[in-house]
Amino acid sequence: MEDVTTQIAIRLDGTELAALDAEVAEGRAASRSDAVRRGIAYLQRAQRYRDEEGRLVELARKGESVYPELDDILVSAYPSLD
């Protein structure tokens, strides 16, 4: 997939702009644009976590093992060291 960028225009109120500027002033972002990108990355992580949580809940509802590779550890009092 190509890295094509699209410029967008948004309107921010004073508190939203102050939040971006604080991120820059405190060194957590290099610029306002960087702060916005970091915010979007945060949203993307949250979306992935929600998707994963949904899959795990669905497996649990079906009674399927959520982490089959760990099933032996849970069953055996003394798991194999191999």
3-state secondary structure the chain: CCCCCCCCCCCCCHHHHHHHHHHHHCCCCCCHHHHHHHHHHHHHHHHHHHHHHHHHHHHHHHCCCCCHHHHHHHHCCCCCCC
pLDDT tens per residue, range 58-69: 888 888 877 777
Average pLDDT score over the chain: 87
Q: How far is CA 24 from CA 11, 19, 49, in A?
A: 18, 9, 27
pLDDT tens per residue, range 42-55: 999 999 999 998 98
